[in-house]
Amino acid sequence: MLGDCSRRERQMLLGTTNKGGTVTESKTEATTSTVTNKDGSTTETKQETTTTSDGVKSEGTTVTQIQKDGTVTSKETVKASDSTGTTATKTTTLDAKGNVTTAAEAVVSAKAVTEATKTGGAVTIPLDVTATKSASTAPTVSVSVPKTAESVKVELPVQNVTPGTVAVIVNADGTEKIVSTSMVTENGVALTLDGSATVKLVDNSKSFSDVPETNVFYNEISSLSAREIMIGKTGDKFDLHNSVTLNQIANVAGRIIGAVDVKNFNAGVAWGQTGGLKTGNVSATRGDVLKALYIAAGSPAVEDTGILARFKDSASIPADMTAIAAWAAQNGILKGNTDGAAGLSKYVSRGQACALAGRTMGTLA
């Protein structure tokens, strides 16, 4: 059935839909051979070459071995279709008891890093995995990057990606840490690596009684809570409608860029103070939140503030907030109130703060 296919297989069957809405048709040629081994196991080798209508070719080999006890091991190797030389191998094992484990290895080429640096994009690993709810059973992807690369942004395709899907770095000593700056993309999760690393893909989505899937802030709250950028008041309640505090938003802003450890709240307050933010356990306004997020984004220069004319209270926006508000409006972060005002002096709820922070994370991707 089509629903049981991998993303790559679905694209082979249906063609790839481009961002502009057009469909690139593809043709796949496959050969399969099966060998019965001396120990009674069987080995099936399937080689596929897919060529799109615009001439892009990708090659893949899948070797499936079935042991006498019923254990099935499938090893799929794919070479990136962009001619950069990036390759990936995914090994999936189904043991006799029905347990499934997945591990992948990827080698990012120097050419791929160079091309991604030119465009500001990410190197896409040419194999997808399925995230799990538990870190203990989550698929691991060992990514090798060129030693000459200072940092590399990679995209790890995930079949069942959700707003709460996160990347988790597995350290050499076995400890694990959620990458708060990992971003959900259309096809998976993107993150920046400072050298080769082992990564797990985990669906760390939280369930809050006051944030149903129909809530307008559901995606942003799912994303931020999964990354522990903004956690719930309790395990079951997010505390959606209460005001966000200055101390909380300083932590949120510092965490979305990885400047503040999620487990050190006081460090987040100190980061905010160093950046010139007001702090304290008092309610934050929309202006306070936007300033914190603007600083987190690197305080980008804004030459044209004409976009602020769309807000009916534009004349009352303080001079020191003009560039910040214009930046936020230009990037779709500030959309204003239902009455058409920017409302920078209005207090912000925790749900609204998540929406603003989530949109900011999108600009940093």
Whether pLDDT at 5 is above 70: no
Task: Give tens-digit pLDDT for 73-117.
Answer: 888 888 877 778 899 999 999 888 888 889 999 999 999 999 998
Whether pLDDT at 12 is above 80: no
Task: Give tens-digit pLDDT for 231-275.
Answer: 999 989 999 999 999 999 999 999 999 999 988 999 999 999 999
| pLDDT value for 2 | 31
Task: Give tens-digit pLDDT for 23-48.
Answer: 446 677 888 888 888 888 888 888 88
User: For residue 291, what are the contacts with CB-CB under 8 A and spacing of at least 6?
Assistant: 277, 321, 324
| pLDDT value for 10 | 33
CA distance 91 to 115: 28
| pLDDT value for 99 | 86
Whether pLDDT at 58 is above 80: no
Enumerate the domain spans of the chain: 2-203, 218-364
| pLDDT value for 113 | 92
| pLDDT value for 19 | 39
Task: Give tens-digit pLDDT for 140-189.
Answer: 999 999 988 888 999 999 999 999 999 999 999 999 999 999 999 989 99
The pTM assigned to this predicted structure is 0.78
Per cent of the chain over pLDDT 70 is 91
What is the SS3 string spanning 283-312?
ECEHHHHHHHHHHHCCCCCCCCCHHHHHCC
Mean pLDDT of 214-233: 94
| pLDDT value for 25 | 67
Of 17 and 113, more confident = 113
- pLDDT band at 57, cuts 50/70/90? low
Average pLDDT of every residue of the chain: 88
Per cent of the chain over pLDDT 90 is 64
Whether pLDDT at 9 is above 60: no
| pLDDT value for 15 | 31
| pLDDT value for 8 | 41
